[in-house]
Amino acid sequence: MSVRTLPLLFLNLGGEMLYILDQRLRAQNIPGDKARKDEWTEVDRKRVMNDIISTMFNRKFIEELLKPQELYSKKALRTVYDRLAHASIMRLNQASMDKLYDLMTMAFKYQILLCPRPRDVLLITFNHLDAIKGFIQDSPTIMHQVDETFRQLTEIYGGLSAGEFQLIRQTLLIFFQDLHIRVSIFLKDRVQNSNGRFVLPASGPVPWGTEVPGLIRMFNKKGEEVKKMEFKHGGNYSAAHKEGSLELYGDRVLKLGTNMYSVNRPVETHMSGASKNSASRTQESIAPNPLAKEELNFLARLMGGMEIKKPSGPEPGFRLNLFTTDEEEEQAALIRPEELSYEVINIQATQDQQRKEELARIMGELEITEQPRSSTSKGDDLLAMMDEL
Amino acid sequence: MFRRERSIPLRGSAAALCNNLSVLQLPARNLTHFGVVHGPSAQLLSAAPEGVPLAQRQLHAKEGAGVTPPLITQVHWCVLPFRVLLVLTSHRGIQMYESDGSVMVYWHALDSGDASPVQAVFARGIAASGHFICVGTWSGRVLVFDIPAKGPNIVLSEELYGHKTPVTDIATEPSQGQDCVVDMVTADDSGLLCVWRSGPEFTLLTRIPGFGVPCPSVQLWQGIIAAGYGNGQVRLYEATTGTLHIQINAHARAICALDLAPEMGKLLSAAEDTFVHIWKLSRSPESGYIEVEHCHGECVFDTQVCGARFFDPSGNSFAVTGYDLTEILRYSTV
């Protein structure tokens, strides 16, 4: 539909991802002096956040992202986030990555659905960007990248009409259609029902530019008001008191898109049982894949600009668990319903030899010829492997 | 007072589009047809009076070059003097079928020639006007197709220039006192309304400017234009002069659908605020001025409504679709 949707989709989902990672990293935080070699510290957390954010806002990557293009499949998008989440020393198992993606998508779906005016999706995006800037306050270079992205977004979206924003919102809603994963924090806050549907309150302030419902005004031929009547609307609305600011710094007014997680509110998802109409969703995965080539091209272009920093020197990857225990994480992987599995695009399956090589190179999947060696300790093994690359 | 009747299950949920429900009433056969857009497919189904679903069919947008399957924007039945056609608009073009969707009788590919790369190309806005079918496009142009009494010899007879932004909806009504000459209103994303007289050539009679919000839905009844806007307002205009006579702060979010029950002048407005309202339109016998009365309000809990239609001509029953909802909700007067 709208060819300007991808940047907003990507940045908002990315923002949610950072909120969740930040919360989990803090929850697993160990004071520096007490930490063992394989435990997270404050320094590690900041480093992971910095690495991911600087990869996300890399100039070449953003440039590729901002080109007018259609939305790609959920599979393709998920592959990009997989890569992004691994842009640093942090590692996530499949189950944790699945949970992360579930939370990200349901959070943004909620924000789009409750967005008062279509144009406010820009305010939601700016809320995410404001929070991202808060994560990297100590890094002026990355801060500059984010500000630059801000400016580019304002340039592209600042002048769009209400109709164009409506098309963007409709495109996003179609992308999120039929996703009803239940999220604990939403259930507890009563913004989501137990059937996975979001609560749409018939109260609160009306969007900026809308009047509170209930008034009927009548005019004569000359345009003079001749009569006023009221009718019972049924809702409980109040007037909007302020318009959110779209400046680089300003009061956004809207709370959607701000960080709803904190250390004390753990993030959990329940897998919503097989929906009555799983047919409508599985249609995407069983459809023949002549689109795979186009999607691979898209991934190659997008991730070509990603510039992932490979871990250098004697640093093993730290694993982050989105569940409370390792056992829980294993269990989650086993019980995940079939129709909710995210099949990450299998690069090896592509026919196009040249494209395959290019993509493999970009993804850093270099073939390493293995040689048997006697291991003395975990650390030494890794060191040795690094030397061979 | 209305009460919920039995819902009709859908195979696929309704997409978050405007005017996303079309109804064809067939009282002679005791049937009602419903049409809902899911995304890349649209679902047609027929139901008996109690809502029991009888038959269903899925239609798809014609494929073309592109990354993802093309999305359908609207599906709508057009009742012409000698036949009924089902029209489906998408991001590729316009497809016309026999009324049960069994046979495609015509395909028109959209010309995206002068579209800039940032512009979405699509057709949207469908209405029958005498023996013509009018369809709106992304450029603002309205295509007028001449439909023969039977057979596939459909011809694009005219292109109407009145809008500069994408067309959202088209409404038509047989004009009063003259046979076979109908009037038409077209609406667009900028809120502009164009009023036309149909004929072998269509004539633009008047324009009603917008005010910065889209007008996703419009209806026409006895010379009254009812327009629903993105800021939740319903406005009633005198069609011949374009004068605004009534402004209703009807909804708290964008209006997504309007429908008319012509026998009684009942107007239905549905919006993303989860509410459906029913109004009665009339004219004052002394002054001839347009009058309106609020009849009923219904809250469709936690549902972003995307389509709503009366399914009887006196407005005693209506059906509603919502984003992500896999059923058509029905309401009837008690």
- CA-to-CA separations, A128 to A60, A389, B118, in angstroms, rounded: 21, 38, 25
Token digits of residue A25: 């990293």
**Spatial distance between the Cα atoms of A211 and B250, rounded to a whole number of angstroms:** 9
Give the best residue of B68, B208, B276, B329 to mutate against chain A (max A CB count within 10 A): B68
Contacts of B247 in chain A (CB under 8 A): 216-217, 219
**Spatial distance between the Cα atoms of B318 and A350, rounded to a whole number of angstroms:** 50
Contacts of B254 in chain A (CB under 8 A): 117-118, 166
**Spatial distance between the Cα atoms of B72 and B59, rounded to a whole number of angstroms:** 10
Contacts of A291 in chain B (CB under 8 A): 67-68
Token digits of residue A13: 């989902």
Nearest to A153 by CA among A247, A241, A221: A247
In single-letter form, the type of residue at position B130 comes to: G
**Spatial distance between the Cα atoms of B86 and B98, rounded to a whole number of angstroms:** 6
Domain ranges of chain B: 2-62+70-333
A220-258 pLDDT per residue, tens? 989 899 999 999 999 999 999 899 998 888 898 889 999
Average pLDDT (B82-87) is 96
Domain ranges of chain A: 5-202+244-263+296-340
- CA-to-CA separations, A211 to A207, A208, A226, in angstroms, rounded: 8, 8, 19
The distance of Cα A66 from the centroid of its chain, to the nearest Å, equals 16
B193-211 pLDDT per residue, tens? 999 998 889 999 999 999 9
Q: List b or e across A154-173, with b for residues whose CB sees 16 or more CB atoms inside 10 angstroms.
A: eebbeebbbbbbbbbbbbbb
Nearest to A107 by CA among A281, A257, A283: A257
The pLDDT of residue A146 is above 90: yes
**Spatial distance between the Cα atoms of A238 and B329, rounded to a whole number of angstroms:** 29
**Spatial distance between the Cα atoms of B54 and B50, rounded to a whole number of angstroms:** 11
Closest by Cβ to B292, choosing from A3, A4, A216: A216
Q: What is the DSSP letter of A266?
A: -
> Is any Cβ of chain A less than 8 angstroms from the Cβ of B67?
yes
Nearest to A218 by CA among B201, B127, B291, B302: B291
Are the Cβ atoms of B16 and A164 closer than 8 angstroms? no
Token digits of residue B46: 């027929």
> Bigger pLDDT: A94 or A125?
A125
Compute the residue count for chain B. 334
The distance of Cα B281 from the centroid of its chain, to the nearest Å, equals 19
A302-359 pLDDT per residue, tens? 766 665 555 544 455 677 878 777 787 888 888 777 656 665 554 444 445 555 555 5
Q: Could you identify the residue written with the tokens 């008191």?
A: A241
Residue of B nearest to A163 (CA): B189
Q: Which CATH superfamily is domain B2-62+70-333 in?
A: YVTN repeat-like/Quinoprotein amine dehydrogenase (2.130.10.10)
| B218 Cβ contact partners less than 8 Å away, ≥ 6 residues apart | B168, B169, B170, B171, B185, B186, B187, B193, B225, B226, B227, B228, B258
Half-sphere exposure of residue B163: CA atoms within 13 angstroms, side-chain side: 34
Confidence of residue B273 (pLDDT cuts 50, 70, 90): very high
Out of A352-366, B20-34, B263-277, B295-309, pick the least confident.
Answer: A352-366
pLDDT at A30: 54
- Average pLDDT value over all residues in chain B: 92
Give the best residue of B249, B255, B284 to mutate against chain A (max A CB count within 10 A): B249
Confidence of residue A53 (pLDDT cuts 50, 70, 90): very high
Nearest to A70 by CA among A164, A3, A7, A156: A3
Average pLDDT (A122-131) is 96
In single-letter form, the type of residue at position B16 comes to: A
3-class SS letters over chain B: CEEEEEEEECCCCECCCCCCCEEEEEHHHCEEEEEEECCCEEEEEEECCCCCEEEEEEEECCCCCCCCCCCEEEEEEEECCCCEEEEEEECCEEEEEECCCCCEEEEEECCCCCCCCCCCCCEEEEEEECCEEEEEECCCCEEEEECCCCCCCCEEEEEECCCCCCEEEEEEEECCCCCCCEEEEEEECCCCEEEEECCCCCEEEEEECCCCCCCCEEEEECCEEEEECCCCEEEEEECCCCCEEEEEECCCCCEEEEEEECCCCEEEEEECCCEEEEEEEEECCCCCCEEEEEEEEEECCCCCEEEEEECCCCCCEEEEEEECCCEEEEEEEC
Confidence of residue A50 (pLDDT cuts 50, 70, 90): very high
Confidence of residue A288 (pLDDT cuts 50, 70, 90): very low
Nearest-5° angle of CA A269, CA A272, CA A278? Answer: 135
Contacts of B120 in chain A (CB under 8 A): 1-3, 167
Q: Could you identify the residue written with the tokens 């609307």?
A: A233
> Is any Cβ of chain A less than 8 angstroms from the Cβ of B246?
yes
Residue A107, judged by CB atoms within 10 A of its CB (0-12, 13-18, 19+), counts as buried
The pLDDT of residue A49 is above 80: yes
Sign of CA dihedral A217, A218, A221, A224: negative
Contacts of B321 in chain A (CB under 8 A): none
Torsion of CA B15, B19, B20, B26, to 10 degrees: 180
pLDDT at A23: 87
Closest by Cβ to A216, choosing from B68, B212, B246: B246
**Spatial distance between the Cα atoms of A18 and A321, rounded to a whole number of angstroms:** 15
> Is any Cβ of chain A less than 8 angstroms from the Cβ of B12?
yes
Contact (CB, 8 A) for B195 and B215: no
**Spatial distance between the Cα atoms of A316 and B323, rounded to a whole number of angstroms:** 46
Out of A200-214, B86-100, B109-123, B150-164, pick the least confident.
Answer: B109-123
Average pLDDT (B11-21) is 96
Neighbours of B16 (CB within 10 A): 26
Contacts of B17 in chain A (CB under 8 A): 170
Q: Could you identify the residue written with the tokens 């809990």?
A: B301
Closest by Cβ to B252, choosing from A4, A213, A276: A213
Confidence of residue A174 (pLDDT cuts 50, 70, 90): very high
Are the Cβ atoms of A197 and B122 closer than 8 angstroms? no
Contact (CB, 8 A) for B229 and B185: no
> Is any Cβ of chain A less than 8 angstroms from the Cβ of B164?
no
Q: Could you identify the residue written with the tokens 């009076």?
A: B49
**Spatial distance between the Cα atoms of A330 and A344, rounded to a whole number of angstroms:** 19
Q: What spatial distance separates the first Cα and last Cα of chain B, rounded to whole Å? A: 6
Q: What is the DSSP letter of A338?
A: G
| B11 Cβ contact partners less than 8 Å away, ≥ 6 residues apart | A277, A279, A280, B38, B43, B56, B58, B326
Are the Cβ atoms of A197 and B324 closer than 8 angstroms? yes
| A144 Cβ contact partners less than 8 Å away, ≥ 6 residues apart | none
Residue of A nearest to B215 (CA): A163
**Spatial distance between the Cα atoms of A139 and A117, rounded to a whole number of angstroms:** 34
pLDDT at A278: 36
**Spatial distance between the Cα atoms of B203 and A71, rounded to a whole number of angstroms:** 40
**Spatial distance between the Cα atoms of B38 and B54, rounded to a whole number of angstroms:** 19
Chain B: nearest CA to A110, how far in angstroms? 12
The pLDDT of residue B181 is above 50: no
Nearest to B234 by CA among B211, B217, B212, B209: B217
Nearest to A217 by CA among B180, B249, B332, B59: B249
Residue of A nearest to B289 (CA): A220
Confidence of residue A386 (pLDDT cuts 50, 70, 90): very low
> Is any Cβ of chain A less than 8 angstroms from the Cβ of B299?
yes
Nearest to B218 by CA among B180, B256, B263, B177: B256
**Ranges assigned E (strand) in A231-295:** 236-238, 269-270
